[in-house]
Structure 1
Amino acid sequence: MTYHNALTGRISIPLQIYHITICTHQRTPLFRQLRTGRMVVQELKYIQDYKYADSLAWVIMPDHLHWLMQLNETASLSSVLKRFKGRTTSVVNRHLQRTGALWQKGFNEHALRKEEDIKQIARYIVANPLRANLVSKVGDYPLWDAIWL
């Protein structure tokens, strides 16, 4: 069943692979601390463990997240992102003893077409720390993963 969100105009297709980008509120670099970034990792794991979506690749940058994921058969993209953003906001705010928005409103998504090279997109995602000059080797950056390891 395809889901359509009338408010955003987004269409959510079961088993579709999406490249998602979510930025922190006001692009605040809240994930410079490894511990805070690991809290986001735990929530990505939660989404996977409860079968809302499968994570194919992701990287948590200081002020945003890139996530290559495949929806399950019953979840909508908006519902998965709402759950993820709500859970991460709760745990990160509690840890940092802060209140308010953790993420910017909405998110950017790109539904992959069949002809697109999924592994190439995954490589692009995990290489973000290199392009941002945060590390000289991808393996030196602690907040990324891909199923093709």
Structure 2
Amino acid sequence: MVQYRRNRVMGGSYFFTVTLRDRKSTVLIDHLEFLREAVRKTREARPFTIEAWVVLPEHMHALWTLPPDDADYSSRWRSIKSHFTHQLAKQIPINRNTKGEYALWQRRFWEHTLRDDVDFSRHIDYIHYNPVKHGHVKQVKDWPYSSFHRFVAKTVYPLNWGCANNDTFDQYQFGE
């Protein structure tokens, strides 16, 4: 079995991409209440700070900061995926793989350890702009499944951030 090397920093901040196996699925936004419950239960057992999050139909991006004495994000993702899957399986049939496991998620997730404040800010921008990038909406403010609205309420972003008619938008550079 391939041993994946993951960077682990105690109390670090991390950017994640987590994807469903079926890239045409809409199950994440169709059953957002199960995802919210899975995150809530996981955070009760293993706390972490959600810095930013966006949920798209078949994948999501998140930026977390872990507690100072902790670098174990993998068990948190395993818990979120497991809670969500088991709740969903009570509502709709989910295919199983040859090992009998639910075949809902891609097996792994993509992780990036954030290096500094600029890296942190760019990934938050990337998260919030992602629904526009994928063509789900024309303006960031129109995607309801995003922490963007929390950032607007805290006046971190103006409501028209990410819009073509926002003169300051050209200064932003996005990328994973």
Aligning the two structures, in what range does the TM-score lie when normalised by the shorter sequence?
0.7 to 0.9
Choose 46-55 or 16-25, whichever is displaced more: 46-55
User: Which is higher, the Rg of structure 1 or of structure 2?
Assistant: 2
State yes or no: 1:76 paired with 2:76: no
- CA RMSD for the aligned pairs? 2.3
Q: Say whether the 8 Å CA contact 1:17–1:71 is kept in structure 2.
A: yes
Q: Report the CA distance between 1:123 and its aligned residue.
A: 1.7
Percent identical across equivalent pairs?
24
Higher relative contact order (CA 8 A, sep 6+): 1
- Once residues 47 and 90 of structure 2 are traced to their aligned partners in structure 1, the CA distance between those partners, rounded to angstroms, is 24
Which among 55, 69, 78 is matched to residue 60 of structure 1? 55
Q: Say whether the 8 Å CA contact 2:38–2:79 is kept in structure 1.
A: no
Structure 2: which 5+ residue stretches go unaligned? Answer: 96-101, 153-176
- Once residues 142 and 148 of structure 1 are traced to their aligned partners in structure 2, the CA distance between those partners, rounded to angstroms, is 13
Q: Say whether the 8 Å CA contact 2:11–2:71 is kept in structure 1.
A: no
User: Partner residue of 1:46?
Assistant: 41
CA 1:148–1:140: 2 relative to 1, 3 Å: closer
Query: What is the TM-score when the length of structure 1 is the normalising length?
Result: 0.81
Choose 103-112 or 79-88, whichever is displaced more: 79-88
User: Partner residue of 1:148?
Assistant: 151
Tell me the matched-pair count.
143
User: Partner residue of 1:12?
Assistant: 8
User: Partner residue of 1:3?
Assistant: none
Q: Give the structure with the higher percent strand.
A: 1
Structure 1: which 5+ residue stretches go unaligned? Answer: 1-5
- Once residues 122 and 116 of structure 2 are traced to their aligned partners in structure 1, the CA distance between those partners, rounded to angstroms, is 13
Which among 2, 23, 26 is matched to residue 30 of structure 1? 26
- Supply the AA of the counterpart residue of 2:73: L
CA 1:116–1:109: 2 relative to 1, 3 Å: same
User: Partner residue of 2:136?
Assistant: 134
